[in-house]
Structure 1
Amino acid sequence: MTDVLHRPTEQPTDPSTVDVLSRPYIAKLLDGIGGSASSVTTTAAFTGQPLVEVPQCTAADVEVAFDRARAAQREWASVPVRKRAKLFTTLHDLMLDRHAEALDLIQFETGKSRLHALEEILDGVGSTLYYARRAPKLLAPKRRAGAIPLFTQTREVYHPKGVVTTITPWNYPLALTMDVVPALLAGNAVVHKPDNETALSSLWPRMLLIEAGLPADLWQVTLGGPADIGNTLIDNADFVGFTGSTAAGKIIARRAAANLIGCSLELGGKNPMLVLADADLEKTAATAVRGCFTSAGQLCVSIERIYADSTIYSDFVARFGAKVRALDLSADRTFSSAIGTLSSSAQLRRVSDHVDDAVAAGAVVVAGGRARPDLGPYFYEPTVLTDVPPTAKLYREETFGPVVSIAPFDTEQQAITLVNDTEYGLNAAVFSKDVAHARRVAARIHAGTVNINEGYAAAYGSQDSPMGGMKHSGTGRRHSSIGLMKYVEPQTVSVQHGPGFEPAFGRTPAQHATILVGATKAMKRLRIR
């Protein structure tokens, strides 16, 4: 563990809160996180100044982490599910009681507004409680219909995969780290690779869970670059969960397939929103602001394309543009700031490049459109563009920043064509006063989640329903029972009583066949089958 700590110039606004950048606190977060490679220095998003040094792992370090995880997992798998679940209900309470610590960590590392950081924490505690309460029932053996009614007793039982590799990104470092919760509840151990830049936010729930009683070896953390440890993380795993870019997801999928292991991938998106002619424009514009600009647009499910009915297009653009221009940007660490900063210089370059390219191609700037170095090194104004031509990068590529384009449509069929004209299919939104009609429109959109009269939170926050992407937006799902059961291997155990499958009582094979055919017909008629 590194003993070198860099402190940014801004200080906590509430002196009563825990100093999450103190040496003892950082040491506790990094406890047990080893690495024999050189450390790297992370950056405070608000200031661009050095924040903290984090240890880096080699491939050999990752191998050691898997060895420790496998040894711990064998005992963990024998712990009753209800006993496992109690640790996570405790984690839920600890996260809420100490949420101010996580707010500070998330803001230091990502630069998002405090309210958006809180959304991340609430999502994490919500998913934790959901699985803690449902895992005992979901993982209990299930009685299934047997081959021969009354005489075949069949049960479906579940075994953990073993050791799960979880790779989480920088944009929602705490919320997406909570994918380890269902993996652990299912009886697995986890080898987790968070992003270097937001490692502290990802390590916070691990610290609390260990305080609650989880054996530390069950949640191994390896920090390092994909080129250095990526292959080792895949090659030693029994299952891989990844959230990140489509390009990286394809590489992981190919390597997982070569090893004959499963993977769950939530990848990129170019998420659309439809504003139908009967939508409440004032409410729609207000809701769209959050749908587009939460976490400065660095959210996989945020809206990047808006299509409005041509009869209300001009009115909507005016209302939406006015609300976006009124947004407050700042590095404030209270709840007063609406929008924070982009997280890095790389993000700033991508957003600037997309906007500049679109404007050069003829796009019109309705709001924003420029960087704000006077506020901080990575700030960029929330930006609304119209008339973006298909030749512009922004038209098809994921920007992953505070930028949204708006275009009109004349017919519903044209709207559906525009919405689906993308390689992605992660999230979408439809706004209309006629919910029944909006549901019919939603059914025609090729996306894993569709929100009606909301940008993303309604679907994403519904923990009991699956969340994930179609097309190049990924494979597999988080949330719901699927988000837990993907971490287990189902096994069928059947017991045969009485008559079996061979001829009995002196019957010939031909007589046996006649009886089988007759019994099969009778079972259908009597609805036994």
Structure 2
Amino acid sequence: MVNQIKIRNPRTGINDYFITQPTVEQIATKCLNLRPAQIEWEKSGIEKRIQAMQQWKETIFSHREKLTQALVNDTGRLIESRLEIDSVANSIDRWCKLAPQLLSTESTKTTTIPFIQLQNQFSPYPLVGIISPWNFPLLLSLIDAIPALIAGCAVAIKPSEITPRFIQPLLETIAKIPLLCDVFTYIEGTGETGAALIEYVDFICFTGSVATGKKVAEAAAKRFIPACLELGGKDPAIVLASADLELATSALLWASVVNAGQSCLSIERIYVAESILTEFITKLTEKAKGLKLAYPNVESGEIGPIISIKQAEIIREHLQDAVTKGAVIHCGGNVENLDGGFWCLPTVLDRVNHSMKIMTEETFGPIIPVMSFTTIEEAVKLANDTIYGLSAAVFAGSEAEALAVASQINAGGISINDAGLTALINEGEKNSFKFSGLGTSRMGVDGMKRFMRKKAILSKVNSVINPWWFKS
């Protein structure tokens, strides 16, 4: 019996699309079919792979309108959908430029034993599996896939079942590139599909919640395969008394509510020096009130809908918990149902504390809680009072002052006098701290090197008798 899954439209609330849940046998077959082609893909060489990826990029551009509309239907927003396509193209170009040097055979060198020479070679993991989230469905399904493909791996992706409409138009672009289509595929389905995928791949990448990330890590460990996990965050920002408040409020507003706050790199809590708290909240609230919902149409404003029903419920729960415990809302503050979609205006609130879910649990919405501090030691302690350690931001009158604070924050990527930079600066290699992730950085050169296993070729260059051999 065919198992069809109904998919909700985030703008209308109507189930206007469906996907078919594959059987375990179908998943296994898809994965097994990629393996023979991967051998040829690897043998074709880096230049051929780069050529194929560049051809695919041009095909994506030629299908841009159809792909954009699918993403709009998936997520309910236009600006970010266009950005996703551009970011994918930029990612292809960047990795194609870096790959020849990163994947080149290293020169032979003499070891500490004079008659033994060493050469390192690279061997790609044959099949990489990717389980990706719903908040940036195209970009986050490909952020790991692009470097893996160029490295010589085959790739199978299981995207979120909440936003699957982009899959078919994207598969149409892949099908037009002969060398690529045999080593690259998407598999629709629920979490069960992702769990099954882990059983048939050699390397797994996952972006999503801590709860699911733990399950992925356990399943990968049982199979003894590497796992790269980027999980949740509750990113803090610290604003010192010397900070430029005009700059800080503009940066933090963007970093908190872009994509309606549905980003693991969103700033989710702000700690402000007590002496500037009132001025900071006044400026931030004024700017937040200037943003509008992208309703009734996608070009009406900057803030799109809450994509997931479950997330809308979490945002509502966090707001209610905060208000019940004494928080004061300065703007926004409600999750509204407008024509079936869930929406939330940028919300600034203060008189918050760490007894509130809004300060300790991932909210994943356009919510900006602000809490005061009296000493830098207190601010750092509050920033580090979390199970997460993805990103952070520090604002101060000088870079040196901000760096002194940043060095004490337990997070993988910290922006100085700006916010959300770790999503934009691809050279910034970093590791997630605590429960925010596991494995090698997807940024910087490690973003590609992690898909390569390193071999050491040790060659004896003359016929001397090794001094450690048994004497005859």
Alignment TM-score > 0.5, same fold:
yes
- Identify which of 264, 278, 283 aligns with 1:314: 278
The separation in 2 between residues aligned to 1:61 and 1:478, in whole angstroms, is: 30
Alignment of structure 1 residues 182-193 onto 2, 5 Å: 182-193=147-158
Q: Which residue of 1 aligns with 2:467?
A: 503
The separation in 1 between residues aligned to 2:351 and 2:436, in whole angstroms, is: 26
User: What is the deviation of 1:200?
Assistant: 2.5
Tell whether the 8 Å contact from 1:428 to 1:455 is kept in structure 2 after alignment.
yes
Cα 1:376–1:229 change in 2 (3 A) is: closer
Alignment of structure 1 residues 373-384 onto 2, 5 Å: 373-374=337-338, 376-384=340-348
Q: Which residue of 1 aligns with 2:6?
A: 41
Whether 1:101 and 2:66 are equivalent positions in the alignment is yes
Deviations 1:138-168 (A, max 9, x none): 1111136432465322111111111111100
| Aligned amino acid, residue 439 of structure 1 | L
- Identify which of 327, 334, 339 aligns with 1:363: 327
Q: Which residue of 1 aligns with 2:200?
A: 236
Whether 1:493 and 2:434 are equivalent positions in the alignment is no
User: What is the deviation of 1:116?
Assistant: 2.4
The separation in 2 between residues aligned to 1:499 and 1:462, in whole angstroms, is: 51
Stretches of 4+ moved more than 4 A in 1?
Answer: 202-206, 332-336
Tell whether the 8 Å contact from 2:298 to 2:304 is kept in structure 1 after alignment.
no
Alignment of structure 1 residues 149-160 onto 2, 5 Å: 151-160=115-124
Whether 1:74 and 2:39 are equivalent positions in the alignment is yes
User: What is the deviation of 1:92?
Assistant: 3.4
The separation in 2 between residues aligned to 1:508 and 1:392, in whole angstroms, is: 70
User: What is the deviation of 1:74?
Assistant: 1.9
SS at match of 2:307: coil
The separation in 2 between residues aligned to 1:400 and 1:213, in whole angstroms, is: 39
Tell whether the 8 Å contact from 2:76 to 2:298 is kept in structure 1 after alignment.
no
Tell whether the 8 Å contact from 2:131 to 2:194 is kept in structure 1 after alignment.
no
Alignment of structure 1 residues 289-438 onto 2, 5 Å: 289-331=253-295, 335=299, 337-374=301-338, 376-438=340-402
The separation in 2 between residues aligned to 1:264 and 1:197, in whole angstroms, is: 22
The separation in 2 between residues aligned to 1:140 and 1:150, in whole angstroms, is: 25
The separation in 2 between residues aligned to 1:300 and 1:75, in whole angstroms, is: 37
The separation in 1 between residues aligned to 2:69 and 2:400, in whole angstroms, is: 42
The separation in 2 between residues aligned to 1:66 and 1:51, in whole angstroms, is: 29
| Aligned amino acid, residue 425 of structure 1 | G
Cα 1:146–1:109 change in 2 (3 A) is: same
Deviations 1:171-191 (A, max 9, x none): 110111112111111111112
SS at match of 1:48: coil
Tell whether the 8 Å contact from 2:73 to 2:165 is kept in structure 1 after alignment.
no
Tell whether the 8 Å contact from 1:206 to 1:219 is kept in structure 2 after alignment.
no
Tell whether the 8 Å contact from 2:28 to 2:200 is kept in structure 1 after alignment.
yes
User: What is the deviation of 1:215?
Assistant: 3.6
- Identify which of 70, 79, 89 aligns with 1:115: 79
Q: Which residue of 2 aligns with 1:57?
A: 22
SS at match of 2:51: helix
| Aligned amino acid, residue 459 of structure 1 | T
| Aligned amino acid, residue 495 of structure 1 | S
The separation in 2 between residues aligned to 1:209 and 1:466, in whole angstroms, is: 29
Tell whether the 8 Å contact from 1:73 to 1:189 is kept in structure 2 after alignment.
yes
User: What is the deviation of 1:404?
Assistant: 1.9
Cα 1:400–1:231 change in 2 (3 A) is: same
Q: Which residue of 2 aligns with 1:194?
A: 159
The separation in 2 between residues aligned to 1:323 and 1:144, in whole angstroms, is: 59
Larger Rg: 1
Cα 1:452–1:118 change in 2 (3 A) is: farther
Q: Which moved more, 1:459-468 or 1:269-278?
A: 459-468
**Runs (5+) with no aligned partner, structure 1:** 1-35, 510-529
Q: Which residue of 2 aligns with 1:176?
A: 140
| Aligned amino acid, residue 252 of structure 1 | V
Q: Which residue of 1 aligns with 2:246?
A: 282
The separation in 1 between residues aligned to 2:157 and 2:257, in whole angstroms, is: 29
Identical positions, percent = 31
SS at match of 2:344: coil
| Aligned amino acid, residue 433 of structure 2 | M
| Aligned amino acid, residue 471 of structure 1 | K
Q: Which residue of 2 aligns with 1:4?
A: none
Cα 1:155–1:203 change in 2 (3 A) is: farther
Q: Which residue of 2 aligns with 1:16?
A: none
The separation in 1 between residues aligned to 2:240 and 2:465, in whole angstroms, is: 61
Tell whether the 8 Å contact from 1:126 to 1:463 is kept in structure 2 after alignment.
no
Tell whether the 8 Å contact from 2:270 to 2:368 is kept in structure 1 after alignment.
yes
Q: Which residue of 2 aligns with 1:128?
A: 92
SS at match of 1:200: coil
Cα 1:440–1:97 change in 2 (3 A) is: farther
**Runs (5+) with no aligned partner, structure 2:** none
User: What is the deviation of 1:62?
Assistant: 0.8
Tell whether the 8 Å contact from 2:412 to 2:433 is kept in structure 1 after alignment.
yes
SS at match of 2:13: coil
Q: Which residue of 1 aligns with 2:188?
A: 223
Whether 1:251 and 2:212 are equivalent positions in the alignment is no
The separation in 2 between residues aligned to 1:338 and 1:212, in whole angstroms, is: 36
Tell whether the 8 Å contact from 1:87 to 1:209 is kept in structure 2 after alignment.
no
- Identify which of 454, 457, 463 aligns with 2:426: 463
User: What is the deviation of 1:467?
Assistant: 4.9
Aligned residues: CA RMSD: 2.2
The separation in 1 between residues aligned to 2:261 and 2:29, in whole angstroms, is: 38
The separation in 2 between residues aligned to 1:381 and 1:74, in whole angstroms, is: 51
The separation in 1 between residues aligned to 2:431 and 2:11, in whole angstroms, is: 31
Deviations 1:373-406 (A, max 9, x none): 2365211222122112322222211011111210
Deviations 1:12-59 (A, max 9, x none): xxxxxxxxxxxxxxxxxxxxxxxx742222122111122322222111
The separation in 2 between residues aligned to 1:500 and 1:355, in whole angstroms, is: 76
Tell whether the 8 Å contact from 2:294 to 2:300 is kept in structure 1 after alignment.
no
- Identify which of 429, 447, 472 aligns with 2:411: 447
Tell whether the 8 Å contact from 1:120 to 1:174 is kept in structure 2 after alignment.
yes
SS at match of 1:379: strand
